[in-house]
Amino acid sequence: MSQTTNSTLNQLMVVDDDAPFRRQLVRAMERRGFVVISAESFAEAEVLSGQSDINYAIVDIRLDDKNGLDLVPILRDHHPDIKIVVLTGYGNITSAVNAIKVGAVDYLAKPADPDDIFAALKTEGDNKPVPPEDPMSADRVKWEHIQRVYELCDRNVSETARRLKMHRRTLQRILAKRSPQ
């Protein structure tokens, strides 16, 4: 198979409004053989989808301008055989079910490991990817979520505590500790 044909079979769109995370994910997926285009908003992704021949997509559920789940059917309309993985920093069962219902092949919580994303994208048929050998502990996932909300609140402890519905001093103690393994 020629390089051109191979690269057209590995066209990937990454849609995430978190610029550092998006750049990191683009680099990780390029190292795994994808030709990657990226979008920072729903509107940009919608335009690029109509202009590009993509086979795979990674879509964040929370975008600044719209819900990423609303993008999944649009991508499917433009590219019927596309495989879409939905990512979110605010995971819950309802949105996971909705992601699968609208056409995503998998739903992963941020910060998702690039190997897990790659495995979800490359899974064939109804096969599910193998569970990770060394997944993050529940304490680590909780810590990552707290750190993300803290950053989104511009490192304001009081606002973060309010949004997480926890006492400010409890949050300060958590933030002062090292990350769990």
Query: Residue 100 has which token pair?
Result: 């699968």
What SS3 state is found at 67? Answer: strand
Alpha-carbon distance 43 to 65, whole Å? 8
What SS3 state is found at 29? Answer: helix
Asked whether the beta carbons of 46 and 22 are under 8 A apart, the reply is no
Of 1-15, 64-78, 88-102, the one with minimum mean pLDDT is 1-15
The residue count for the chain? 181
- The β-bridge partners of 60 are 87
pLDDT at 98: 79
89-102 average pLDDT score: 73
pLDDT at 2: 38
Asked whether the beta carbons of 163 and 153 are under 8 A apart, the reply is yes
Cα of first residue to Cα of last residue in the chain, in angstroms, is 43
Each residue of 9-61: pLDDT tens digit? Answer: 789 999 998 888 899 999 999 999 999 999 999 999 999 988 888 999 999 98
The whole-model pTM stands at 0.67
Residue 180 pLDDT grade (very low, low, confident, very high; cuts 50, 70, 90) = confident
Alpha-carbon distance 107 to 36, whole Å? 20
Each residue of 107-159: pLDDT tens digit? Answer: 888 878 888 889 888 877 665 655 666 666 778 778 778 887 888 888 899 99
Asked whether the beta carbons of 140 and 180 are under 8 A apart, the reply is yes
Does the structure show a pLDDT above 50 at 97? Answer: yes
Asked whether the beta carbons of 106 and 116 are under 8 A apart, the reply is no
Domains of the chain (ranges, CATH numbers): 3-122 (3.40.50.2300), 138-176 (1.10.10.60)
| CA contacts within 13 A on the Cβ side of 29 | 29
